[in-house]
Amino acid sequence: MKFQRSSVVTQLHGAIKRLKQDLKSLHSFALELSKDFQRQSKTCLYQVLAAVQGIQLQNEAMQMFQIKAFDLEQSLQEVTERYEKEKQKRKALHNSLIELRGNIRVHCRIRPLLPFDDASGLSQGRQRNFSEKVAYAADDETVLVKCSRPGHASVNKTFQFERVYNDLESQDAVFADVAPLLTSLLDGYNVCIMAYGQTGSGKTYTMLGPQLEGNLAFAIEEESELGIIPRATQEVFRLISEKPPGSYCVEVSVVEVYNNEIFDLLAKDSCGKVFGIKRDVVTTREGKSDVPLLTHETVENASEFLHLVKKGLLLRVTHPTLVHAHSSRSHLVVTLTITTVVFGDNFGTLCEDEQISQRLNKEASFTFPQKMRDNKSTSSSRASSPVQLEATEKMKQVKTRLQLVDLAGSECVGMSGVTGAALRETSFINRSLSALADVLGAIAEQRAHVPYRNSKLTHLLQDSVGGDAKLLVMLCISPGQKYLTESMQSLGFGTRARQVQRGQVKKKISQCRVKENKT
Ligand SMILES: Nc1ncnc2c1ncn2[C@@H]1O[C@H](COP(=O)(O)OP(=O)(O)OP(=O)(O)O)[C@@H](O)[C@H]1O
């Protein structure tokens, strides 16, 4: 029993000893752990402190950057404003220079890539290449053509124009730059706006608006999509509405030049049914071009005008080509003639120079359109005193003209895939466009003889191209690689047109008072 107790005690002692040893090693382990923890937390603390310091520094740097960025933003804004002002000044100077030299203004519009740019009957790979964009608006005055094709010399060329529109710019933006010309029209200048470009490049879209499916007329319901012709007419009538009533009379004529023949698209037969009648263009004794017997319809507002133009357009010749399903095969010339009654003792002598005053006195005739004749006869019948009669007789009329031209598309026969009669049309189109380029070349080189009569188109447009009209050429460009050659040709045409100097464009009415109709 005693032996048993002492062995238990011994065992307990042993166990206690082991426990003590374990406790000791646990204690030293705990000590190690705590030291390690302290070390690590110190390191972490240092790291956190360093990070906080870093963040603080970064915050300070950020604040500095923000201040600097704000300063830079402000100076950028100032520089941009200064640049815009300088640009406006430069534009104004450039415009004055254009006026003085009688330069042709050239604007260039690059249309977006469209689904039909792919439809060329080529293999998939080539189609993808062909629909690649190669013509861009680098800025609002520069076109960049950039293209490198295996086996061809790479192209990297810029062209400068008075204004360049990129593919996203709206009809509104295009018209905003055209509108000042219409103010000039009512100030007494002749104005001509002409769309030039390859087939399918957006000339009709720019001049009229998108065409209705299967119909040559354009959609007038979509106001924002309207092109230059309908907008210009609305603007002309808006400007007229601000003038004394009865002092302006507007007439319209619609002509197409097809296969080097001129057709009057407003001519009517005896039953009043509209159809195109062939007309001729002649040179008058004063050296002006004229189309005898051409129908001029008087219009009172923009919708009457649009109604007539739409009627005329239904007669315009179109033909599907590989490039464009509704390709216009004729040049369309819509002319608005504005007759202004001017009044004053010094009519003519008040005008800018002797030559012009003589010309104006010659041009100012008393063959008033019906509406103005009515006004005139009304005032004549009331003009009972000799002074009043004399004043009435001093009322004279001056005609100014707005010519809006949608040229047929220049094109490469291989590209458009036309044959037969359409091929003949194409050859007439190309010949008339090259006659136009020849005329511009002759004027640019100030040659004694300008070959206006080489084509009916140039003969018809003689007074606008070579005469005293403010002329704007709206170059239309397709951006795809497929049309590279045609685009380069159009850009070359625009560049040459800009170089033409025709002498200072003269007003047809200068300082002469527009009649105030007090009846
Ligand atoms: N800026 C544009 N935005 C959207 N679509 C456009 C634009 N320009 C042209 N288009 C579209 O491209 C197609 C061809 O345009 P358009 O009929 O104006 O060409 P065109 O130069 O008059 O051709 P053609 O000389 O063969 O008559 C049309 O479907 C037209 O709606």
Torsional class of 466: left (φ above 0), alpha (ψ -120 to 50), beta (otherwise): alpha
Q: Is 151 left (phi over 0), alpha (psi -120 to 50) or beta?
A: left
Instruction: Return d(Cα 275, Cα 252) in angstroms, integer.
Output: 16
Q: Tell me: is residue 68 an annotated ligand-binding position.
A: no
Residue 217: CB atoms within 10 A of its CB come to 17
Q: How confident is the model at residue 152 (pLDDT cuts 50, 70, 90)?
A: confident
Contact present, 358 and 307 (Cβ < 8 Å)? no
Tens digits of per-residue pLDDT, 361-385? 454 443 444 555 444 433 333 344 4
Instruction: Report in angstroms the alpha-carbon separations of 273 from 267, 291, 320.
Output: 9, 21, 27
Q: Of 400, 373, 96, 405, give the one whose Cα is nearest residue 246.
A: 373
- Counts of helices then strands in the chain (DSSP H, E): 14, 18
Q: Which residue has the higher pLDDT, 223 or 242?
A: 242
Residue 405: beta bridge partners? Answer: 194, 333
pLDDT at 349 over 50: no
Domains of the chain: 102-514 (3.40.850.10)
| Residue 73 pLDDT greater than 80, yes or no | yes
Q: DSSP assignment of 334-381, as one string? A: EEEEEEEEEE-TTTTTTSSSHHHHHHHHHH--S---HHHHHHHHHHHH
Quick one: residue 219, left, alpha or beta (phi over 0 = left, psi -120 to 50 = alpha)?
beta
> Mind giving me the DSSP string for 271-325?
TS-B--EEE--EE-TTS-EE-TT---EEESSHHHHHHHHHHHHTTS-EE--SS-T
- Counting from 1 in the atom list of ligand 1, the atom nearest the Cα of 167 is 1
Predicted-complex ipTM score: 0.98
Look up residue 193 and give its two tokens. 């706006």
For strand 469-477 and strand 190-197, is the pairing parallel, antiparallel, or unpaired? parallel
Contact 97, 488 (CB under 8 A): no
Q: Which of 107, 109, 110, 114 gets mutated to test ligand 1 (max ligand atoms within 8 A of its CB)?
A: 114
C-beta 209 within 6 A of ligand 1: no
Is position 420 annotated in a ligand binding site?
no
Please state the rounded mean pLDDT for residues 386-412.
Answer: 74
CA of 434 to the centre of ligand 1 (A): 22
CA 511 to chain CA centroid, Å, is 32
Question: Which pLDDT value is given to residue 224?
Answer: 85
For 119-142, how does the pLDDT look when each residue is reduced to its tens digit (9 = 90+)? 554 444 444 455 789 999 999 999
The C-alpha atoms of residue 332 and residue 329 are separated, in whole angstroms, by: 9
204 is in an annotated binding site: yes
Which residues contact residue 405 at a Cβ distance below 8 angstroms, ignoring those fewer than 6 apart? 192, 193, 194, 195, 207, 331, 332, 333, 334, 461
pLDDT band, very low/low/confident/very high, at 410 (cuts 50, 70, 90): confident
Q: Whose CA is nearest to atom 1 of ligand 1?
A: 111
What is the rounded average pLDDT of the residues 317-342? Answer: 74
Element (DSSP H or E) covering residue 391: helix 386-393
Would you tell me the crossing angle of helices 420-444 and 484-498 to the nearest 10 degrees? Answer: 30
Q: If we measure between CA atoms, which residue out of 363, 227, 412, 378 comes closest to residue 306?
A: 227
Q: What is the pLDDT of residue 220?
A: 60
Does the global pTM surpass 0.90? no
Atom of ligand 1 lying closest to residue 109 CA? 1
